[in-house]
Amino acid sequence: MTWSQLDWNILDRLRAGFIGGTAAQGPYWQSEEDLAHYDLTYAERIGWKWDAVLREVRQRGWAPRGGLLMDWGCGSGVASRRVLKAFGAERFDSLVVWDHSALATDYVSQRAAKDWPALDCATATPGFLEAGSPIGLLVISHVLNELDEAGIAALRRLILRSESVLWVEPGTKDVGRGLQAVRDTLLPEFRTVAPCTHDKPCPLLAAGRENDWCHFFAAPPGEIFANSDWVKFGQRAGIDLRSLPYCFLLLERRPAAEGTGQAHDGTLSRVIGRPEFFKPYARLLNCDASGAAELTLQKRDDKALLKALEKAKGPLVYHWEREDNFIRTGQRFGEAPAEA
């Protein structure tokens, strides 16, 4: 599939289903061509979000422990492909794919057989879906708003069989808050490695925070803006390619002995969404173990930090020194302290 073969009837139909909600009414892939069209365009854009998430979790020193990799709601398989590329197919014993469309599972299995001939890849059988056998890493991508209660329950059963779960969704308010709620229901069994810097119930679900949601922005590869195919695609599809809002969860099963104890040291904060910059200060929504709060960083308190925050790319995770809701100074996680 190449850009010159694009059939806009297919892309328009798929997009109308995603936006209009009919995608939640049952399988919608009509042919292998649908999946190939999706894979070249919408799924590749989702892949850029996966790239951002995988960069972050690797920076944090996280890697899957191996075993069976499962891609649930696989579509054209972008999530498992990005994971296999990031960590190496040899890390996993096998790949199991599942989607309620057989066209999708066939598409992903065929691609996997070509891309990773040594990796054992299979479509989940009803027996596998009902069994209790362990799953090493479960990947889930852009599926939450297509699920009814039965779909969520089926997914939940698989999550509870998994050692780790990596789940990426669009950064819209409804989906973001939905993912926050799922996280909280799983807290007894799983610790949140990322994006949270704590293991407390999600502060953005607290009363009074109904208008906030956990989300971030990924940067697409710079070269797409000089690529006429992508530029035309963005215009024709009505998508701002610069803006890639996403939310995600990396969950790790708690060791049995750990109970619900803290996995984080509680000193780190994460900035939600984007900070807002005004001339003498920045304002941001902060999340940490003490809750969520709107914080202000004034230029007069730390000019260099304000400048660095404005330029910062990637996850905004910091050790702040605060007085009430004012940040006096701070240190970005993973960066060396600035020279005095």
Ligand X SMILES: C[S@@+](CC[C@H](N)C(=O)[O-])C[C@H]1O[C@@H](n2cnc3c(N)ncnc32)[C@H](O)[C@@H]1O
Footprint on this chain of ligand X (rule: CB under 6 A):
27, 43, 46, 73-76, 78-79, 99-101, 104, 141-143, 146-147, 151
Residue 107 or 116: which CB sits closer to ligand X?
A: 107
Residue 124 or 272: which CB sits closer to ligand X?
A: 124
CA distance 61 to 184: 24
CA distance 116 to 120: 8
Residue 42: name the closest of 245, 249, 237 by CA.
237
Residue 141 or 197: which CB sits closer to ligand X?
A: 141
For residue 196, how far is the Cα from the chain centroid? 12
Q: Which residue is nearest to ligand X (CB)?
A: 75
What minimum distance in Å lies between the beta carbon of 147 and ligand X? 6
CA distance 228 to 326: 45
Residue 80 or 269: which CB sits closer to ligand X?
A: 80
Task: Report the DSSP pairing between strands 317-323 and 269-277.
Answer: antiparallel
For residue 26, how far is the Cα from the chain centroid? 23
Residue 60 CB neighbours (<10 A): 15
What minimum distance in Å lies between the beta carbon of 35 and ligand X? 8
In whole angstroms, how far apart are CA 133 and each of 141, 151, 158, 250? 22, 19, 9, 21
Rounded (5°) CA angle 241-244-248: 155
| Beta-bridge mates of residue 17 | none
In whole angstroms, how far apart are CA 37 and each of 29, 76, 294? 11, 9, 42
* Contact indicator for 113, 133 with CB cutoff of 8 Å: no
In whole angstroms, how far apart are CA 280 and each of 234, 301, 316? 35, 10, 20
* Contact indicator for 293, 318 with CB cutoff of 8 Å: no
CA distance 164 to 66: 10
| Cβ-based neighbours of 303, under 8 Å, separated by 6 or more | none
